[in-house]
Structures are given as C-alpha cells and as structure tokens.
Chains A and B, each alone.
Chain A
C-alpha cells in the first residue's frame, strides 16, 4: 500500500514545479513581441487610449510587481478576462466550458489505445519473432510515424466523404440540443436520457478517438511487448510453470501485472504527446476543446487565454504524472525507497 509519507512528499515536490511552470509562462508572454494593450484597444485606437489601457492592466508597473501579481492570480485561479475570443468573459469560465471536451477526447483516446495496445503487445511478446510479432511491430512503428494531421483527413475522406457513414466534424448533430451538465457529451446525452443524441455524439467522436488512439496503441503495444519479454524470462514465471500452472494463467496472472508496471510510466511520460495529439485532432475535426482554443488565442493575441491554457495543459500533465507515480508505488512498493 502507498504510504502517506510518499504521497505527501510527491505533493510537496509539486510546488516548485508548478512555481517554475508559472514562471516560464509569465516569461514567454512577456517576451512575446505583441502588445496586450494594443490587442485590447484595437489597432486604430488613439495613443492616449492605448496608454490608458496599459496603465489599467498594470503593464507600466515594475516587472517584479507584475510577476508577483501574476503568481497571486494563478494561485487564486483568476486568469482575467478574454481580450478577443469571447471578449469580456472570464477566462476561467471559457476554460470550464471547454476543458471537459478535451479531457473526454484524451481519456477515450487513451482507453482505446490501452484496449488494443495491451493485447497486441502481449501477443507480440508471447509469439516473439514469429510473423505475428513482426507484423505487429511494423504496424506499431507505422502507428507512431503517421502524423494525426494526415491520418485524420484520410479517415474523414474514407468514412465521411467516400462511404458517407460517419460525420466529418463537430461533436453532435445539429438537430440535438443537450444541456451541458458535466461537459462530457457522452455523459450529458445519457443524463438527458436522449439515446439518439448519444448515438450522434458517439458517431462524431469515433474518428477522433481512432486517430488519437492509433498513436497511443502503437506506443503501448511497443512498451508492453518489450516489458513482457523481460518478464517471461524471470524466475518466478518458471516457478509458476513448474508448479503445473497453465501457460495462459501464468502469463495473465504473473506476467501481466509485472509487465504492466513500466507501461504505466510510459503512459505518464507520453501523456504530453497525448495532449499534443488532442490539439491536432481537435483542429482536424473542428472540435471546440482547449486545443483549438489555444491555437485561436495565439492567432488573435488573446494573452490571458494563452497564458491560462498553457498553464492548464502543464498542470494536467504534471498531475497525471503524479498519479502515475502513486499508482506505480501501489503496484511496486519497492519504488518508495
């Protein structure tokens, strides 16, 4: 079991990392050549008005004051108001609306990756150096080499344009109106008891999940294969076989659990790639998550939104890795030392 001390230590280590992350975000925004005051006031505003906006925003204060104020705002989840995208709306509100969309996509993509990646990896390891193994490995390597912004359009072309059996973009058919309760569209449609809407939402999500899942599947099956090959050679596996246990049970009971541990670490490390993939997937399928939010915020110089979105992405990544560490210590108590 996890000791409270271990979790407390990991939580404590989180503080300097988050502090550093906030500092980097602050630095990036201040190094950007654009002027937030001009972005708010508009290109044609008078010099005096721009200056007024600048004073209001506190941009004339010494840098250290701005920095401290920024840290204070971040600590209280106050990210200010959007300049452009939804002018005047608190950024935290925009994020609350859009974050679930990205999380839903990322979680489903990850699950799809696990669902197909784990069995493939095990199969590949058990049948090491056979044709099955070679095909799986080449498939996995292709999976991590094909960019999402190519596989996505290809699938749209095939399933939406050519076969016409799946929608091309968006989250749900225009005929359905669903109240956002949780923000997760599959959950919300079920809560509303609207099965046709659920079906529509699922059909919209299918291609994005496949595109995002292919990459995860490829990563996971590769890691699972090499981890399983190591484990199969271990003494305790031989012992299990020697005591007369069937090959399948041995593999599943003793092999799987031990081989899965390094895979969890990879899932944590690669969660960043999953989020990057989600941004691209959202762009290809025109899904309004925080990925497309970030891209349009950068394009429109909406600094508060850029700041908050990048922070949220980094925090999600860090928290997932914390979770991975804790899970790891549950599965393998030796790690605490």
Chain B
C-alpha cells in the first residue's frame, strides 16, 4: 500500500483517485487494454439487454411458417435465420448472456477454490502443502480440455451446460492454487505478518485480512485471462456435444449446429455470427488481461503464465 491511501480520499474526485493508483493509471494509459475493457463492457451490456428484452422460449422454439428457413442476412433478419427458421440476431445477443453467466460462475468458483487451497498450502506448509500441491500437479498433468471432457461425464445429463461449468472449475482450480501459493509465500515472509501474529491474530483473520489482500493483483490477472479461456472452453464443450441442449441459444451450440447443418448448404451466417461475437468477447478479455499484466509490478509478472 502506498502512502496515498492514508490521506483522506473523501474530498478527491474519482478520476484523481484513479490517477493516484499506479496500477490503474498505467492500465488506463494502455490503449489496447482500454479497447479490451470497451469490448467487455459492450458484450456485458448486450448480455443484460438480451436477458430482459427477449423471451427465451420464443427465441428457442422453431419458427417454421413465421420466418423463412436459412434466409441470408437482410434488413429484416440482420444475421439471417437458421434451419429451424429462427431469427439468429436475438439468439446471438442472448448467447452473450449465457457466455457471461457461465463464464463468471466458472471463473468465480475456480478462483475461490484455488485461492483457498493456495493460501492454505502456503500458510500451513509441510504435509498440508504437499498433499494439496501434489494433487494440483496431477490435475495439471492432463491437457485441460481433455480433462474437462472426461470430467463432464461425472455429472448428470440434466445439468446441461452447468456440467461444463463444474468440469472446467475443477480444471482451472489448480492454476489459481499455484499462482496464489507462490504469491502468498512471498507475502508471508514480510514483517507485518510476524507483527500481526504477535498481536494475537487468529489464522483465519491473518489469512483473510492480511495475506489475501496482498495477493489480489496476480489473482485478478489470472482471473481475467481465464475468463476468456473459460468462454472458449465452455463453447468448445458444447461444440463437441457436451452441455447445452438443442435449440438453446448458446454460442457453442449455434456454432455446432451451424457447422453441422449450415456449412455445406451455404448458410455461412448460421455459424459466422455466433463465432464472431465469441471471438470478440475472448479478445476483449485477452487484451485487458495482457494490459493488467503489463501494468503490474514486474516482479509479479513471473508468477502468472
């Protein structure tokens, strides 16, 4: 913490306070990171809009008779229609909601699990550390998408895409655990930890109030980079046929159907638009994650791959 935070913040405007933080000012001066932030903000707005503007039942059910099938993009159907005569435009927008929802849950769950395990491993050391970290090592010895594929089978079918979320949470957790353990070990060497302990702080208080806040930077970067990955992997699992139920307006499912039924009949728009939105969203998270990593203290950089 810099001395800046000890001067009263109340009277200063938000812009000034942002400038006072070296991390944020560095980040906001990075044009690519700002572009990433804009992309994410845009997709987020679309997600919220679609969630409330469209009726899920109406855009999921087939629309034979109402719309033409596999109509090319036009003034009426901006992104064209699919083989079930559904208008693709609202479905692609609604896909943003699913991507954000499932992505957020996956990243949040693996962050919480990984942070917990990493901090505990670093703090208690010895046997605890070994048991936790060797387990993480084993999970890390699987190629991630392959492990997710195998794990998806554990969960019952009726969970739909939540199966993919659960599987990917388990797959991503070790990465967080590793990063956090490394960062926590560095923090634990600091003198204020010794001081806090001498003051009689309990273990949970010490970990949550003192160790965790000082590990936040690498955790945030890892989460951001993993967000893009989570969205790609969730869509990959539904592309391979695990997760979303037919007709559900998720990007992976639309892509899968569009490639399987639309590609050779010439209906390129069926898979093109969901893929485009997916790629832009992931690009947004990668741009932001990169910018965050660059804005961080260089010593922290090596902790994140």
Chain A interfacial positions (CB closer than 8 Å to B) = 16-17, 20-21, 23-25, 28, 31-34, 137-138, 141-142, 144-147, 149-150, 153-154, 156-157, 161, 168, 266, 269, 271-273, 275-276, 279-280, 283-284, 294-295, 298-299, 306, 310, 313-314, 317-318
Contact = CB atoms under 8 A, between A and B. Distances in A.
A269 B143 contact: no
Given A20-B138, A149-B236, A276 B259 contact: no
B279 A306 contact: no
A137 B282 CA distance: 16
Interface stretch (B179-187, B208-216, B268-276): B268-276
B285 to A, nearest CB: 8
Given A17-B138, A272-B144, A280-B239, A144 B286 contact: yes
Nearest to B241: A299
Contacts of B252: 149
B263 interface: yes
A214 to B, nearest CB: 12
B266 interface: yes
A145 B289 CA distance: 12
A141 B279 contact: no
A79 to B, nearest CB: 15
B146 interface: yes
Contacts of B228: 145
Contacts of B278: 147, 150
B272 A147 contact: no
Given A146-B279, A149-B255, A317 B241 contact: no
Closest 9 CB pairs of A and B: A276-B145, A150-B275, A20-B138, A272-B143, A145-B283, A145-B282, A275-B143, A31-B154, A149-B239
B232 interface: yes
Given A146-B279, A269-B305, A28 B154 contact: yes
B150 interface: yes
Nearest to B294: A226
Given A31-B154, A147-B275, A153-B263, A314 B142 contact: yes
A317 B134 contact: no
A307 B160 CA distance: 23
B144 A21 contact: no
B149 interface: yes
Given A33-B156, A299-B241, A20 B141 contact: yes
Given A17-B141, A24-B138, A317-B141, A141 B150 contact: no
B305 A275 contact: no
B241 A154 contact: no
A28 B150 contact: yes
B296 to A, nearest CB: 14
B222 to A, nearest CB: 14
Contacts of A298: 149-150, 152-153, 242
B30 to A, nearest CB: 12
B232 A32 contact: no
B240 interface: yes
Interface of B: 32, 134-135, 137-139, 141-147, 149-154, 156, 228, 232, 235-236, 239-242, 252, 255-256, 258-259, 263-264, 266, 268, 271-272, 275-276, 278-280, 282-283, 286-287, 290, 305
Contacts of B241: 295, 299
Contact of A147 (B137, B235, B266): B235
Contacts of A276: 143-146, 236
A17 B232 CA distance: 28
Contacts of B134: 16, 20
Contacts of A21: 138, 141-142
Nearest to B252: A149
B153 A28 contact: yes
A85 B290 CA distance: 44
A21 B136 CA distance: 11
Nearest to B35: A138
16 contacts: A21-B141, A142-B283, A144-B286, A146-B279, A149-B252, A153-B263, A153-B275, A154-B272, A157-B263, A271-B143, A273-B143, A275-B146, A279-B240, A310-B147, A314-B143, A314-B147
A317 B142 CA distance: 7
Contacts of A32: 153-154
A44 to B, nearest CB: 20
Contacts of A266: 305
A153 B154 contact: no
A299 B139 CA distance: 23
A223 B280 CA distance: 22
Contact of A24 (B142, B266, B283): B142
A294 B141 contact: no
A250 to B, nearest CB: 25
B259 A147 contact: no
Nearest to B287: A141
A310 B283 contact: no
B134 to A, nearest CB: 7
Most buried by A among B146, B151, B271, B276: B146
Most buried by A among B147, B241, B255: B147
B259 A153 contact: yes
A144 B290 CA distance: 12
Contacts of B142: 21, 24, 272, 310, 313-314, 317
Contact of A150 (B143, B279, B286): B279
Given A149-B255, A272-B142, A17 B264 contact: no
A272 B305 CA distance: 14
A202 B282 CA distance: 32
